[in-house]
Amino acid sequence: MARVLDRSKFLANLRATLDVRRAWHAQSPYARAILTLVYLGFVTGTYAVAAILIWGPGLLHATDYVPWGIGISTYIFFVLTSTGLCFVSSLGHVFGIGGYEAIGKRAVFLAIITMMAGFAALAPDLGRPERMVFYLLTPHFSSLLWWMGFLYFIYFVFMVAEFLSLHKSRMDWARAMGVGGLLSAIGAHSTLGGVFGVVMARPFYFGAFMPLYFLLTAFLSGIAAISLASITTSWGRSRQFTPEVVDISCRLRKLLVAVLGITLLFTFWKVLVGLYAEPYRETFGDVIRGPLWQLEVILGLGLPLILALVAASRRIRVVPAMLAASSLVLLGLFIGRLDMVLAGQALPLKALIAPELSSYIPSAAEIMVVVGALSLCGLLYAIGGTFLRLEAVPLAHSSSTKDT
């Protein structure tokens, strides 16, 4: 009997919590306009995914010379951002580094939704997504793609458990799940790098570089994503940069400078080694002459580094500088993932059957899927931000209850 009562109470609570109408009216006109756009983007993406599944992969511009296109690169972008967010979230409640607890819950939530957006972008790129049941029925343990899927599943479970623990302020559980999430993130995402690293046929992919590079740039995108989300949310709420946001921006700025520096060093050596070795010189030369690579390095690495460094000299401007830098980093990495995926396929492995096959330009449906994945992220973030108290700092709450 008590159980029934509990349930009705729970449902009433849930209804009150998920009062969409009130939440909608509580938003400013700007926020409503953005939400409408995000919703339209989501509808567009859903339509594109359905169209590809119904009318077939003819809507994709992938060819047998460039079998992997923007769908794969968008997937990589999102899941690596998810890893990075997992790293950032673990700074506070796993490693116990002071000052990072404030972004822990938001980062874990963002890690979950970027992961979902990543898989949403990947699904239409598979010829037969409905056959994913064979992942379980006939697994192939020598395939890194299989291990990637398996580890992602574990990672996803840990992240959801970590979020629930944070939501319920169960810090012991959150720490345990955080450790599991962190380890499975390192496993899953370096395996994604390994998926490319083991391909001997394509010199740009081959080698131990990719798994390490993926983890490093994942951290970079995680720092950028949490900065962007924290700053824009704070501004949206109160039309000003709260002291908390200034504080966290200062901390994240230092991290960003360090990781950007290391990424530039990685990029330098990748290119230098590529240009040095005669058989790869042509491929690497084409890559660095390409607009995508230049945008990635100048817009996504160089400019943000300068912004983040300059911001140190005048403390007051740290927040806008971080807003710009993190936006540029995310844009640069999005372009960079596409460039990375395409660079490995730039050198055709056989003679061209038709000249137009040598280059890849995303199709309308593919771009709509990308818009949809981004919008899905935005939509879920709006829902989470409204209903799930992402700004909560469970550690402080937990320790205070422990003290009493």
Partner 1 sequence: MPRGLSRRDFIKAGAGGLALASLGLGGFIASAKETSPDKAEARIRNRPGEADADWAFVVDVDKCIGCGRCVLACKLENRVPLDPLLNRTWVERYVVTRDREVHIDSPGAGVNGFPRLPGATLGEPQILKAFFVPKLCNQCENPPCVSVCPVNATYKTRDGIILIDQGRCIGCRYCIIACPYGARYFLPDAPVTPSGHARVVDKCTWCYHRITKGLNPACVEACPVGARLFGNLRDDQGVVAGLLKEKAVNVLKPALGTKPRVYYLGLGHWVQ
**Contact footprint for partner 1 (CB under 8 A):** 3-4, 55-58, 62-65, 67-68, 125-129, 131-140, 142-146, 149, 195, 198-202, 344-345, 348-354, 357
Closest distance to partner 1 from the beta carbon of 322 (Å): 37
User: Would you state the structure tokens that stand for residue 331, as one six-digit string?
Assistant: 């844009």
Give 28 or 143: the residue with its C-beta nearer to partner 1.
Answer: 143
User: Would you state the structure tokens that stand for residue 293, as one six-digit string?
Assistant: 């690579």
**CA 288, 290, 292, 298 torsion: positive or negative?**
positive
Count other C-beta atoms under 10 Å from residue 154's C-beta. 16
Query: Counting runs of H as helices and runs of E as strands, what totals does the chain give?
Result: 16, 0
Give 129 or 302: the residue with its C-beta nearer to partner 1.
Answer: 129
Per DSSP, the residues of 351-376 read: --SSGGGG-----HHHHHHHHHHHHH
Give 135 or 266: the residue with its C-beta nearer to partner 1.
Answer: 135
DSSP code at position 100: -
Give 122 or 335: the residue with its C-beta nearer to partner 1.
Answer: 122
Rounded Cα–Cα distance for residues 121 and 252 (Å): 28
Closest distance to partner 1 from the beta carbon of 75 (Å): 11
Give 26 or 132: the residue with its C-beta nearer to partner 1.
Answer: 132
Give 124 or 274: the residue with its C-beta nearer to partner 1.
Answer: 124
Closest distance to partner 1 from the beta carbon of 50 (Å): 15
Closest distance to partner 1 from the beta carbon of 211 (Å): 15
Residues 6+ apart with CB under 8 A from 148: 188, 191, 192, 194, 195
Amino acid symbol at 91: L
Q: For 31-54, give one letter per residue: b (16+ CB within 10 A) or e.
A: eeebbeebeebbebbbebbebbbe
Closest distance to partner 1 from the beta carbon of 351 (Å): 4
Closest distance to partner 1 from the beta carbon of 147 (Å): 9
